[in-house]
Structures are given as structure tokens and as C-alpha cells.
A = this chain, B = another copy of it.
Amino acid sequence: MLKNDLLLRAAKGLEVERAPVWLMRQAGRVLPEYRATRSKAKNFVEFVKTPELAAEVTVQPVTILGVDAAIIFSDILVIPEAMGLPYEMIEAKGPRFPNTINSKTDIDKLKIAEAGDLDYVMQALKLTKRELNNSVPLIGFCGAPWTILAYMVEGSGSKTFSKAKQFLYTQPELAHQLLEKITLSSINYLKGQVAAGADLLQIFDSWAGVLSEKMFYEFSLKYISQICDALSPLVPVTVFAKDAHDGIEKIAQTTCSSIGLDWTIDPLTARKQAENKTLQGNADPCLLYADEKTIIAQTQTMLKTFGKQKYICNLGHGLYPDIDKEKVKLFVDVVKGYGW
């Protein structure tokens, strides 16, 4: 039994004494302790693949920041790799794929990943679970199929993902074949994560925002929905489709338990569009650059707006690496000390 199950109760829409709080990218460069652990691996990909190190940085924010959940340290791009398309992480630049997907032959060569192909993540989850010792829930995650396809076709990050979108426009059938394979791989992967100890899952659709509303439904939400259907009977599932501002209403029709909101979404509008779901978010990460007074005031306003129930406090995006750790701690403390 978990000592602190606030996150799980909030995600399920059950009553809580206060809203739980965690931060996207809390296991990251914002913590000096993370940077120390990171320096033990020769590169980012090796770091992700070393269960002891991944578990170590996963637990750090629970101890140091006092958040109500741990999220397994990993990368959404482990899925392409497990399917046969390895990635590199270039310092200060981001991910790069030596090979990309362009044709039916490329797609046919990809395998449907199974949990066993990602054993290092499973090992990291098990180690973390042991180290957490039932203190707080452990979150597992994957990228949304569209976001994963975007990287596999584009080969790197991009402001427009125009190559990936070109693929959707010119070869929609192939795109759907690839999305199917990614979806099946993701379902296998997430089921494995639950078996290894994940108490809640989050699906990150980081590049939902480059799609029109119609294309988001056709090429992204359809597959997110399949993943929700497969996993939500096991654990609560949060869908975070960044910049999908017109998508909230339709995301609320999936079997997810909770919806992540970026900081450009109005909380009260989202409440109306997703009455049946728990909401998560949505502070601007840049708020944590402000002075203490501003952080306290704006965080409290956000808490008041969302309310105590069916709410998970978080940012609207991941922490930026140059944010002061003390400001992050302040944010967490404001949530925990709020006059709920």
C-alpha cells in the first residue's frame, strides 16, 4: 500500500485532502544531483539504458523536492530504437536518427516492440519501485504514436515537422501502417511498465500542436485512444497533447483518466470541455524564473482556479534546465501548504 496515494486518487476522480503535485522533467538537469549522476554515463543513450542510474535520478526529486510522485527517467525515443531505428542525443541540439523512415520497405523492416526489448526500462522501474518503498506512486510513460512517427520520419527535432507532415499528406496509408506498429509497440511497452511497477501512465504528444484539428484526430488521437483502451483497465492514464488547444473536448471522450494542459489553455474552458476528467497542469515553466512573491501569487491563483478535486498540479511543459532548484521547491511547497 502506498503511503501517499494522492496522485492516484486525484487521477481516478476520488476525493483528496489536497491536490498532488509533480513536475514534468523533475528528474532532470534542474537538479545538481541529476547532473552528478548523469556524468557517470558516457552519453545520454547509455544513461537511459543503465537501470541503476535511471532509478537513481528517478528517486532524486521525491527526496529533494518532496513531490507526490516519481516519473521513471527515460526517453520517448526508446520505442523507435526497440522497433529497429536507433537514435542519438546530440548535446545542446537534441535527438538525431542516423536512419529515417520514408517508404513501405522501411516500415516493413521495423519490428513491433515487446516489453522484453525494453528490459532496461523494466529493470529501472523495478529498482525504483524498491527504492521508493511505497512512499509515492511511480509514473510510467511513452510518446504518442504521432510524435514518435514525427521523429522517425523527420530524423530530428524541427519547428514545423514539415517532413513528417509531408509524409501524412502524401502517403496517408503508409503513415497509418507506421502508426499502427508504433501503437502496438507502445501498448506492449506500457503493459510491461505496469507489470514492472508503474502505478499511472502518461502519454506525451509533444508535437500535437503542428497538426490541424482534423489531422490531430485522424493521425494522433485515434491511436492515443487505442492505447488508453488497452491500458486504462490496468492503471489511470494521462494524455498530454501539447498545444492541441482544440482537442480537449475530444481527448475527454477517450478512456483516459486525466488530461494534461499546457500553459496556453484556459483552466475554466478546459473544465467545461472535460467535465468527466481530472486535469493536470498548467503553470508556465518560465514562471519559475520570477521572484518568490510572483511564484507564490500565481501558483495560488492557479490552485484556486482549478480547485481541490480532480486536479493534479504540474507545469504546462517540462522544467527548463536553467531554472533554480530552490524555485522549484518553492512551487511544490506552495501547493502542499495551500489553504486547501
Given contacts A266-B246, A320-B160, contact A165 B212 (CB under 8 A): no
Bound Cα distance A231, B159 (Å) = 32
- A245 → chain B, closest Cβ, in Å? 4
CA A215 to CA B284, docked complex, whole Å: 10
Instruction: Convert A246-283 into 0s and 1s, putting 1 for each residue whose CB lies closer than 8 angstroms to a CB of B.
Output: 10000000000000000110100100000000000000
Question: Are the CB atoms of B170 and A289 closer together than 8 Å?
Answer: yes
B212 touches A263 (CB 8 A): yes
Q: Is A290 an interface residue (CB 8 A)?
A: yes
Q: Which residues of B contact A13 (CB under 8 A)?
A: none
Query: Which partner residue on chain B sits nearest A166 by CB separation?
Result: B289
A213 contacts the other chain (CB 8 A): yes
A212 vs B261: C-alpha distance in the bound complex, in angstroms? 12
Q: Look across to chain B and name the residue whose beta carbon is closest to the beta carbon of A208.
A: B264
CB-CB nearest in chain B for A211: B264
Closest to A320 in B: B162
Residue of A159, A263, A264, A320 contacting most chain B CB atoms (<10 Å) = A264
A160 to B316 CA separation, bound complex (whole angstroms): 12
Give 6 pairs: A residue, B residue, CB < 8 Å, sorted on A. A159-B159, A162-B289, A169-B289, A212-B263, A212-B284, A213-B266
Assess whether A285 is in contact with B162, with CB atoms less than 8 Å apart: yes
**Cβ contacts under 8 Å, A285 to chain B:** 160, 162
List, in ascending order, chain B residues with CB within 8 A of A294's CB: 169
Task: Tell yes or no: A209 within 8 A of B by CB.
Answer: yes
Question: A7-24: which have CB < 8 Å to B?
Answer: none
Please report which residues of chain A, range 283-313, place their CB below 8 angstroms from some CB of chain B when the two chains form the complex.
284-287, 289-291, 294
Q: Which residue of chain B has the shortest Cβ distance to A162 in the bound complex? A: B320
Contact of A199 with B by CB under 8 A:
no
Interface: A243 (CB within 8 A): yes
* Chain B: CB-nearest residue to A165: B286
- Among B166, B245, B269, B290, the residue within 8 A (CB) of A286 is B166
Which chain B residue lies CB-closest to A157? B159
CB contacts (< 8 Å) of A170 on chain B: these are 289-291
Closest Cβ–Cβ distance, residue A67 to chain B (whole Å): 22
Contact B264 A169 (CB under 8 A): no
The docked-state distance in angstroms from the alpha carbon of A162 to that of B284 is 10
Taking a contact as CB atoms closer than 8 A, the residue among B166, B169, B213, B243 that contacts A243 in the complex is B243
Question: Which of A157, A212, A246, A269 has the most B CB atoms < 10 Å from its CB?
Answer: A212
A117–B286 alpha-carbon span in the complex (Å): 35
**Bound CA span A294–B211, Å:** 17
Contacts of A245 on B, CB cut-off 8 Å? 245-246, 264
Rounded to whole angstroms, the CA-CA distance of A157 and B317 in the bound complex is 19
**Distance to closest chain B CB from A295 (angstroms):** 9
Neighbouring B residues of A284 by C-beta, 8 Å = 165, 212, 215
> Residue A246 contacts which of B209, B264, B291, B317 (CB distance < 8 angstroms)?
B264
Known: A170-B289, A170-B290. 19 other contacts (CB 8 A): A160-B286, A160-B317, A160-B320, A162-B285, A162-B289, A165-B284, A165-B289, A169-B287, A169-B289, A169-B290, A169-B294, A212-B284, A213-B264, A213-B266, A215-B284, A245-B245, A245-B264, A246-B264, A246-B266
